[in-house]
Amino acid sequence: MADALQILLQISIILLGGTLLSLLATKIRVPEILLFILFGFGLQQFSQKVYPFFDLPYIFIATTGLLVLALQIFEGSANISFRALDKSSATALKLVFINTVFHMILFTAAAWAILRNSLPLAALFAAIFVGTSAPITLALLKNARGYVFSLLRFESLLNTPFNALFPFLIIDIFFGGGVENAVEPVKTFLLQIVVGIGVGVLAGLILFKLSRRIYSKIYSPLAVLIASLLTYALAETLGGTGVLAVMALGLLFGNLYIKQREQMLEVESVFSRSVYILLLVLFGTLLSFPLTALFLLKVLLLLVAYLIVRYLSIAVSLRHLSQREKIYMSLMGPNGVTSISIMVVIATLEIAGIETILELFGAFLLSQLVLSSVTALLTKRIMPQKQKINS
């Protein structure tokens, strides 16, 4: 009982502190994710140096990561409405595609050269940061109005499901099980895709049929929450890709006609918000990296490489933008909760050399968040006057 009460106390402190920091973040225009991570780091330092009260088991943190991962993918997919696609969203989709290709090729090569690690590990590191984070981008831009801001919003929403897919594809391809011939990995990879999509489509159709015939203010929203978690778990259990399954479920839910769709997402959003805060603070408690000159130089070089690759993808896909707009979009490319969820899950896997990736992940993510925060604060000075911003 004492252990259970201790865990309950720790969770309560995390949620209370996270809620207060979320309110503070809206006033000082700093990404709440940055405050959550720093809060977790502070709890860790307090527990180590003042009073040892924080000792949540890692399996709890990993489970929270899986919860957030499944919910984030579902939310991102459900918000993609094919009927609402316009010129901005179509252009953003083009940007997502080109940026993904450039990133996986060029940033993987840069990470390989800078880290001097194996190519599969470099590809895994690049895949974790392949796209921008919707929660952070939306929070930073807030009421900003204009074509560039719309592109950034659409990009972050469209690439959320794909962000979660690529790291696990890299793991399946390069770390999947050491088969001896070149045919088996391809067969396994294709089977995982087919099973993942199949489970997601089946779950989506069942959810659609049930929501059309039976609606309850309490149980229908709860059914959406259960469906997203069960779909991920079932797909993984059957040997498929859980990320792809939840993405298929979200796309079906977001595009099939369901009259009470917004009401059905309410419970999922509240629960998602709670575990979202919990995961980010817990991630902060895990932060640990050496503050050596060589390590910081690697982080700086990786950040510069990331910005260059992002600028090149924007320059190729959005040639009609001005130079200032391209630079602004390049700087406003933060990663966030999806990357953290993936990293927490990957840390539980037995991958040789993953310790280096874990050390660099936290420092690189923090550098991105700081850069994006500063860019957001300087938006009015950086962007041309035609990009109107509501005060």
pLDDT tens digits, 334-351: 887 778 878 877 877 778
> Which pLDDT value is given to residue 66?
76
How many other C-beta atoms can be found within 10 angstroms of the C-beta atom of residue 230?
17
Output DSSP code: residue 105: I
CATH code assigned to 2-382: 1.20.1530.20
In the predicted model, what is the mean pLDDT of residues 12-26? 87
Q: Residue 144's beta-bridge partner residues?
A: 389
Instruction: Determine contact, residues 241/165, Cβ cutoff 8 Å.
Output: yes
C-alpha span between 379 and 148 (Å, rounded): 12
Instruction: Determine contact, residues 15/278, Cβ cutoff 8 Å.
Output: yes
Instruction: Determine contact, residues 354/347, Cβ cutoff 8 Å.
Output: yes
Q: To 10 degrees, the CA torsion angle through 357, 360, 365, 367?
A: -160
| pLDDT, tens only, 170-180 | 887 777 644 44
How many other C-beta atoms can be found within 10 angstroms of the C-beta atom of residue 379?
20
> Which pLDDT value is given to residue 305?
95
Q: Which two tokens stand for residue 299?
A: 């982080």
> Which pLDDT value is given to residue 302?
94
Q: Band the pLDDT of 388: cuts 50, 70, 90.
A: very low
In the predicted model, what is the mean pLDDT of residues 59-72? 77
pLDDT over 70 (residue 332): yes
Instruction: Determine contact, residues 195/239, Cβ cutoff 8 Å.
Output: yes
Least reliable range by pLDDT among 114-123, 178-187, 265-274, 295-304: 178-187
Long-range own/partner contacts, residues 320-328 (CB < 8 A, 24 or more apart) = 321/148, 322/384, 324/382, 324/383, 324/384, 325/148, 325/383, 325/384, 325/387, 327/382, 328/148, 328/375, 328/379, 328/382, 328/383
Least reliable range by pLDDT among 30-34, 158-162, 163-167, 206-210: 158-162
Half-sphere exposure of 301 (CA within 13 A, CB side): 14
> Which pLDDT value is given to residue 313?
94
Highest mean pLDDT among 104-118, 191-205, 261-275, 277-291: 104-118
Q: Which two tokens stand for residue 138?
A: 């939306």
Instruction: Determine contact, residues 295/363, Cβ cutoff 8 Å.
Output: yes
pLDDT over 70 (residue 328): yes
> Which pLDDT value is given to residue 90?
75
pLDDT over 60 (residue 8): yes
What ranges do the domains of the chain cover?
2-382
Long-range own/partner contacts, residues 22-28 (CB < 8 A, 24 or more apart) = 22/277, 25/139
> Which pLDDT value is given to residue 178?
44
Query: Which of 75, 28, 339, 55 lies closest to 227 in space, CA to CA?
Result: 75
Q: What is the mean pLDDT of the chain?
A: 79
C-alpha span between 282 and 280 (Å, rounded): 5
Q: Band the pLDDT of 143: cuts 50, 70, 90.
A: low
